[in-house]
A = this chain, B = another copy of it.
Amino acid sequence: MQTEIITIGDELLSGNVIDTNTAYLSDQLWLKGIEVAYHTGVRDDAEKIKEALLHAATRAELVLVCGGLGPTADDFTIEVAAKAFKRKLVPDQHYLHYLENLFRQWGRPLTETSRKQAYVPLGAKTFQNRVGTAPGIGLKFKKTRVYFMPGVPKELKQLFHDFILPEILTLRKKTDVFESKMLKCFGSAEADLDSALKDMYVNRVDIENVRIGFRAHFPETFIKLSAWDKNADHAKKRLHDVEAKIRERIGKYVYGEGDDTLEGVLGALLVKKKKTLAAAESCTGGLTAHRITNVPGASKYFLGGVVSYSNESKTVVLGVSPETLKKHGAVSGQTAIEMAQGIRRATRADYAVAITGIAGPTGGTTDKPVGTFHVALVNHSGNWEKKYFFPVNRDWFKLIASSIAIDRIRRELLGPT
């Protein structure tokens, strides 16, 4: 199905807003086996919108239009579409009724401006927006299906997911059923995962009707899988078989699926095993604690953290011995272990993790260049420590060091495999 996305809005072509809708829609369609061929971005300009709609209708069978459905004067996508497709603009009685009820509930009058949102080109249908007031709209022009959605990502996602995507799937000529899944990996570079799996999707060894795609999301890699078949159970089986093959090769790097995050998976494990956690960080500067506490309910298992940027805070708050700092330095395995022991003592957590290193851009030495860090993990049964070296920029350094720390605790909780 030849597909085009049209995004409308001055804000996208003035650099005020980054367009995330195109990536979202492309991704969702990819998972169902539909490739987007074109993307056109236009300003809030009636002539340009008209031209883009008509041009798309000549080359695409499916057109997704995002933006310009709001109630204000600079939102006129639907009026322009009605003119372009030579249709009258008529009220959708069903949606008008819905809006009247909605505004009554809110205790606000339904103004003429808001009523405008229930007007659609003759023959079009509306889809109910549960997040905002502008409906999704679908129509057919010659051989092309055109769908209109608001540009607000939350509203667009709801309408696309609940109504428009299911309808698109019924329109496809081939009756294949698609099953899809995202595997989330950490601990191996994208290039290495790619090499490990390349024969599966380049030469398509042993796999039929399954697509494998990579998405780099530093420091993680996501693997997108999509399988299809005429029969739903067969599609599921294809997906399952390919997933099993992938896990056989690189399974130890797969930490989760779909919307999982490293810190979310860690949190679920801690809840399940009824264990508590604390963290002491220097070079990651609080990012580890920040990520752990991004998970709702983290207060159940995260007891606390210390960001010990100065040597003094390492000795006073965490009880790292001045001799250790003198002999091994602040960036050393021994200091990392004593930091972890210190925060574990203070919080009485089951597990304590510590990170110390040199984020740069300054502070490196020949022995300990910028990019060096140590991660330590301490529990009732002992200490573990390891040195790492990632000479990347400060932001990425903090990200990868905190990811390694979080992943290390996760692996500890999983036990030997």
Q: B-contacting residues of A (Cβ < 8 Å)?
A: 5, 7, 12-20, 22-30, 35-43, 45, 48, 213-216, 224, 278-279, 281, 284-290, 292-294, 296-299, 302-310, 312-313, 316-317, 346-348, 359-363, 394-395, 398
Contact = CB atoms under 8 A, between A and B. Distances in A.
Contacts of A310: 299, 303-304, 347
A271 to B, nearest CB: 14
12 contacts: A13-B26, A39-B41, A286-B288, A286-B292, A286-B305, A287-B290, A303-B310, A304-B307, A304-B313, A304-B317, A306-B307, A312-B348
A307 to B, nearest CB: 4
Contacts of A292: 285-286
**Which 7 residue pairs are nearest across A and B when measured between Cβ atoms?**
A15-B27, A285-B293, A286-B289, A39-B41, A304-B313, A286-B286, A305-B307
Nearest to A45: B37
A297 B394 CA distance: 11
Contacts of A296: 360-362, 394
Nearest to A26: B15
A14 B213 contact: yes
A330 B348 CA distance: 19
B35 A299 contact: no
Contact of A18 (B23, B288, B303): B23
Nearest to A297: B362
B215 A16 contact: yes
- Majority SS at the chain A contact face: mixed
Contacts of A45: 37
Given A30-B14, A42-B38, A346-B313, A293 B286 contact: yes
A28 B292 CA distance: 37
A70 to B, nearest CB: 15
A37 B48 contact: yes
A13 to B, nearest CB: 4
Contacts of A346: 313, 316-317
Given A305-B306, A307-B293, A17 B13 contact: no
B12 A41 contact: no
A374 B310 CA distance: 26
A234 to B, nearest CB: 24
**Best-surrounded residue of A20, A48, A317 (most CB of chain B within 10 A):** A317
A309 B293 contact: yes
Given A13-B39, A25-B15, A37-B48, A304 B309 contact: yes
Contact of A22 (B41, B42, B290): B41
A343 to B, nearest CB: 8
A288 B287 CA distance: 9
B308 A304 contact: yes
A294 B28 contact: no
B347 A313 contact: yes
A286 B297 contact: no
A95 to B, nearest CB: 28
Contact of A38 (B16, B38, B48, B307): B48
Contacts of A306: 304-307, 317
**Best-surrounded residue of A16, A224, A302, A359 (most CB of chain B within 10 A):** A16
A286 B15 CA distance: 31
Given A15-B30, A362-B296, A40 B40 contact: yes
